[in-house]
Copies of this chain bind each other. A is one copy, B any other.
């Protein structure tokens, strides 16, 4: 337990530390770690409110970590949901929006609405005595969740939490609340952007013979190769979110060519090939990293390693990395997918074609990496397999429940 004056200074640093975390899971773990240190307690856990339920999100425990290690502890205390009622301690704190300091959970007066649930203690032989349970609120005083601190320790003995702990815990949970709110907002905004990209990419393929699963598979294959090549996680994400827009330029290709059943004649092919440039034009001049990456993917995903591709006839490493990655993903998916006009090609035959194009169409190192990851590739393919109804995109228009859509 840190001295009081020190702890206020410490809280200042903690505030800055919490504000610097962009990922919610990392943030929650940091909150628990700081709570343990600031309050000098054995364990801490955190619940967040989601859809009017309390969701157990994360925990840390000196005792369990010592006994089992972190991994086993986390695997044991997995996320679970609780109804939001005053019967549980966390629920009580969330509903009343005020803290509970319980010296001994076995001595909760009979008149209280909340009860301690000893299930975990009994199952694993832990003995919870004292609890300090704080509501986590955002700046508008809305409750976001609950922070439980478990078993205050003084001189190696379990004791109760005191008034000073309460004071520190209050400041700390305010900081935690603002940090959680900010990080959730950031995550929501990222998700919003990806949702938009994906939906509109799917929409753009409405006229095409492709399905929305095609877009998903290509994104996952491309990220898989990037990941296996040990690109940093930010680059892997960028490629994943840029890949869906590779064919966005097909919006500029007339139906007569895009939907022609047979092979294209040379003049038609020339027009069709313009989709890479059209896509790049649609996406140019953005300040947004994922859009800029998409532009490069759109422009370069039909280049070939030996310089015989289009539109620029780039050769080898002159082709941007993301273009070479998506080329492999896109061709493999085209070969192994059912289309309205063709059956699925057996995997072995597709792989033979891919291998024959090593160093001509495809970057050899990337291709080797892809071919060496077939277990993952198959998993992706199976997860996003096309079903017959995926091909009849407009079949159902008119039969849906419009009142449902209006909501």
Q: Which residues of A contact B (CB under 8 A)?
A: 8-9, 11-12, 15-16, 19-20, 22, 138-139, 171, 174-175, 178-179, 181-182, 185-186, 188-193, 195-197, 199-204, 206-207, 248, 251-252, 254-256, 274, 277-278, 280-284, 286-291, 295-296, 299-300, 311-312, 320, 393-394, 397-398, 400, 402-403, 405-406
Closest CB of chain B to A312's CB: distance in Å?
Answer: 5
Not counting A19-B178, A188-B288, a sample of 4 additional A-B residue pairs whose C-beta atoms are within 8 angstroms of each other reads: A11-B12, A22-B185, A200-B200, A203-B251
Q: Is the CB of A199 within 8 A of B252?
A: no
With A139-B20, A299-B406 already in contact, the answer to whether A196 and B252 are too (CB < 8 A) is: no
With A15-B12, A178-B20, A179-B19 already in contact, the answer to whether A398 and B204 are too (CB < 8 A) is: no
Q: Is the CB of A286 within 8 A of B199?
A: yes
Number of copies: 2
With A15-B175, A174-B16, A179-B19 already in contact, the answer to whether A406 and B139 are too (CB < 8 A) is: no
Q: Is the CB of A406 within 8 A of B291?
A: no
Closest CB of chain B to A207's CB: distance in Å?
Answer: 6
Closest B residue to A195 by CB, please name it: B288
Q: Is the CB of B291 within 8 A of A192?
A: yes
Q: Is the CB of A286 within 8 A of B186?
A: no
Q: Is the CB of B405 within 8 A of A287?
A: no
Q: Is the CB of A406 within 8 A of B178?
A: no
**Bound state CA distance, A181 and B19, in angstroms?**
10
**Bound state CA distance, A174 and B286, in angstroms?**
31
**Bound state CA distance, A339 and B400, in angstroms?**
34
**Bound state CA distance, A274 and B393, in angstroms?**
13
